Amino acid sequence: MATVTELLQPVEQDLETLLSDLRSLIGAGHPILQAAAEHLFSAGGKRLRPGIVLLISRALSANGELTARHRRLAEITEMIHTASLVHDDVVDEASTRRGVATVHSRFNHRVAVLAGDFLFAQASWHLANLDDLEVVKLLSRVIMDLADGEVKQGLFRYDTGQTFATYLEKSYCKTASLIANSAKAAGVLSNESSEHLDSLYHYGRQLGLAFQVVDDILDFTGSDQQLGKPAASDLASGYLTAPALYALEEQPKLAGLIEREFSGDEDLAQALELVRASRAIPRSRELAETFAREAREALAWLPESPSRRALIELPEFVLGRLY
């Protein structure tokens, strides 16, 4: 099983350049933001999102070289992603993310709002200056989906009546939209046919959904240490993900525990037991596997190259986190 560093090897140098460019772009002349930028663009994030844009860009390039506009698109993708994380951490009152202190807990929520706005603003400015209206539309759709997903997530807390479709829509908005639309945008900048653009979008969408379902499974199966946050924290906060929704179908008793917001001492532990005793985890795994397979199949047409191989292996890598 490849590690993420091995997978991203074809664009390793590109990612280094991108992160150092982002640090200086955001920090330049603004001491308050500089510390936040150092924090955001140095800490151990996997940079999967810009990595995917860069891999697709290289895979689509006849000579394997990246254009300045493809690089800029990857930067914009990372800016939007980071901005939305910083603001979501304020909205969700999260104090750590993957074991690292969030901006609002390390600095304060005022710096977090400012840093997020600054990143969104830079992203929208650079986006406009890519001079491609279709790319502007794709990425502005992402910004809208991210805000929409964050609102939706809050709306359906502890709501045991929500449909599985609602969960998938929220996952699309919060995770898959950015990967899908930025993958397609890389294709737009490479003048791909509309058929290829659709398949790039589909690859990103299914990969993003696989990624989210895997994350949601790990919330139930991982330890605090592996997750960098308390295990089952999604469920405890009332966010009902694939495993919880599948378990609700089998274990009617679970609904009561959720609806009273785990107010009893043993409620959360009991809910976890109900989920684990059900077929929820294996079914969630099957769902993630389906999304991963669909992602892989979407790129069958790509010409052979190291970047293509990495893209095709990525869905498998995402599933690999489960084992």
95 SS3 class: coil
Residues 6+ apart with CB under 8 A from 26: 33, 34, 36, 37, 40, 41, 115, 118, 119, 122
In whole angstroms, how close is the CB of 85 to its own copies at the nearest point? 12
d(CA 188, CA 132): 9
Strands 100-101 and 96-97: antiparallel
Residue 257 sits in the site that holds its own copies (CB under 8 A): no
Which residue in 61, 96, 105, 140 binds its own copies (CB under 8 A)?
140
In whole angstroms, how close is the CB of 9 to its own copies at the nearest point? 34
Neighbours of 317 (CB within 10 A): 19
Neighbours of 111 (CB within 10 A): 17
Residues 6+ apart with CB under 8 A from 76: 123, 126, 127, 130, 139, 182
Residue 269 sits in the site that holds its own copies (CB under 8 A): no
| Dihedral over Cα of 134, 184, 81, 127: its sign | negative
In whole angstroms, how close is the CB of 142 to its own copies at the nearest point? 9
Q: Within 13 Å, how many C-alpha atoms sit on residue 3's CB side? A: 4
Which C-beta is closer to its own copies: that of 152 or that of 202?
Answer: 152
Q: Which residue's structure tokens are 């982002």?
A: 22
Residue 206 sits in the site that holds its own copies (CB under 8 A): no
In whole angstroms, how close is the CB of 123 to its own copies at the nearest point? 9
Residue 32 sits in the site that holds its own copies (CB under 8 A): yes
Note whether 319 and 289 are within 8 A (CB).
yes
Residue 301 sits in the site that holds its own copies (CB under 8 A): no
Which C-beta is closer to its own copies: that of 154 or that of 256?
Answer: 154
Count of residues that interact with its own copies, criterion CB under 8 A:
39
In whole angstroms, how close is the CB of 239 to its own copies at the nearest point? 15
Note whether 74 and 57 are within 8 A (CB).
yes
Which residue in 7, 8, 48, 143 binds its own copies (CB under 8 A)?
143
d(CA 298, CA 220): 30
Q: Which of 242, 222, 244 is nearest to 231 (CA)?
A: 222
Q: Which residue's structure tokens are 């790319």?
A: 135
In whole angstroms, how close is the CB of 60 to its own copies at the nearest point? 23
Residue 193 sits in the site that holds its own copies (CB under 8 A): no
Residue 93 sits in the site that holds its own copies (CB under 8 A): yes
Which C-beta is closer to its own copies: that of 2 or that of 128?
Answer: 128
Using only C-alpha atoms, the chain has a radius of gyration, in whole angstroms, of: 20
Query: Mask 145-164, x = binds its own copies (CB under 8 A)?
Result: -xxx-xx--xx---------
Which C-beta is closer to its own copies: that of 143 or that of 299?
Answer: 143
Which residue in 5, 46, 64, 91 binds its own copies (CB under 8 A)?
91
Residue 37 sits in the site that holds its own copies (CB under 8 A): no
In whole angstroms, how close is the CB of 109 to its own copies at the nearest point? 6
Residue 218 sits in the site that holds its own copies (CB under 8 A): no
Residue 137 sits in the site that holds its own copies (CB under 8 A): yes
61 to 58, 67, 70, 77: CA distances (angstroms): 5, 9, 10, 19
Query: Binding to its own copies (CB under 8 A): which residues in 95-124?
Result: 109-110, 113-114, 116-118, 120-122, 124
Binding residues for its own copies, rule: CB under 8 A, are: 30-33, 84, 87, 90-91, 93, 109-110, 113-114, 116-118, 120-122, 124-125, 127-129, 131, 133, 136-137, 140-141, 143-144, 146-148, 150-151, 154-155
